[in-house]
Amino acid sequence: MVHGVGCVIISPTRELALQTYEVLKILLAAIDLSHILIVGGVKKHKEIKLLQKGVNILVSTPGRLLDHLQNTEFNFKNMKCLILDEADKLLEAGFEKHIAGIIKLIPEDRQTALFSATIDDKIKNLARLSMKSSPVLISVLDNVRTVNGLQQGYFICPIEERIPWLHKMLKKCKKLKVMVFFSSCKSVDFHYEFFKCHCKAPVISIHGKLSQANRKEAYRSFVEAKTGVLFCTDVAARGLDIPHVDWIVQYDPPTDVKEYIHRVGRTARGSNTTGNAVILLRPEEEEFVNFLKTKKVYLDKYNFEGPSSEVVEMLQNLIKDNGVMRTLSRKAYLSFLRCYKKHPLTKFFDINNMDLDAAAKGFGFIERPHIDFLNNRKK
């Protein structure tokens, strides 16, 4: 204990840090090594007391760790191991400067392990920054990008029919465990409110703008649930080990192939397991399927029964009469369009060929709300 921190594990999100810490507790149950989780959203004074008391293994997110290294007096001079987990995600989340700051402050005489789903120039630069000598590269390669037990396909769904389709899908999956991915926090909030409070669906939500306590509770609730639905952004897609997920629904398109794979990777996990995944595409987006094929991701074309119009009428009445739902819907609609407008794969997801009136109907509006940031859209 007197030697202070010996190992630091850095994760890109609070959920991943929590997951790592929970596994660590199991592994160290019979070993006399102290361990602590420090992440944003938790009161610092409790962490300071534990750090100053002395701890052997520290699991953290980058921002909170750098904060303590700069401002808290605790013993980390004998640190021998640094682990950068999901390094590509650390960089995607904008933590490069945090990692650089951490590396400047910790001892040079240490072992560093860097784990990443992809190896590009940015990861190589991070490796050079964090490792003194030439690292040993251990790679796992496969000709197939997704696991064998995964049944994956796409469904051509007009944008105004997505909510009634999802409503019907979730009714059919009452005894299953489903994850639904959205492009924005506001879209998660709107769909959660509608399905949880007005459709009485067993929905849990998680995204990056929830408080740490709410995110932690949502994650644990869904992990422990035998059935149910999780509405989420991609904060939940990467690395989280959620058992027994039966269906992945990509309600909004992924930003790239990696994100597609990360999303569907939440199901069919482990040996001898199966899972299902479906991505909703507008008719204009179907070419994305051929693009995935060039990346060794193969999708079947799915057919589903037509959705009921009752849900559409219920949502439209709510938007008209319920001020809270109207505000949530408008924010979600605008956020959806902003995400779509800046989508990196514009060849397949082009705001210029989207019917904005139909998109508005997909959020319950009979008349499209005014949108300033699309005034210069190509006709």
Task: State the 10-residue block means of pLDDT for the chain, 379 residues long.
Answer: 84 92 94 93 88 95 96 94 93 91 95 88 87 76 68 97 96 95 97 92 92 88 95 78 93 94 86 87 98 95 88 93 96 97 96 96 94 68
Domains of the chain, earliest start first? 7-130 (3.40.50.300), 150-374 (3.40.50.300)
Single out the residue of 167, 165, 192, 145 nearest to residue 297, CA to CA.
145
pLDDT at residue 33, as a whole number: 93
Per DSSP, the three-state class of 202 is: coil
Quick one: which H or E segment has residue 82? strand 81-84
User: What gap in Å lies between CA 339 and CA 141, rounded to an integer?
Assistant: 32
User: What gap in Å lies between CA 68 and CA 358, rounded to an integer?
Assistant: 50
Q: Name the DSSP letter for residue 60.
A: E
Q: What single letter denotes the amino acid at residue 265? A: G
C-alpha count within 13 angstroms, C-beta hemisphere, residue 125: 9
pLDDT at residue 213, as a whole number: 87
- Which pair of structure tokens corresponds to residue 343? 């989508």
pLDDT at residue 212, as a whole number: 81
Per DSSP, the three-state class of 174 is: coil
pLDDT at residue 379, as a whole number: 47
pLDDT at residue 145, as a whole number: 62
pLDDT at residue 132, as a whole number: 76
The helix-helix angle for 310-321 and 162-172 (nearest 10°) equals 120
pLDDT at residue 89, as a whole number: 86
Show the DSSP H helices in the chain as ranges: 14-27, 44-53, 62-71, 87-92, 96-105, 121-130, 162-172, 185-193, 212-224, 257-264, 287-294, 310-321, 323-341, 356-361
Task: Report the DSSP beta bridge partners of residue 150.
Answer: 275
Q: Name the DSSP letter for residue 231.
A: E
pLDDT at residue 271, as a whole number: 62
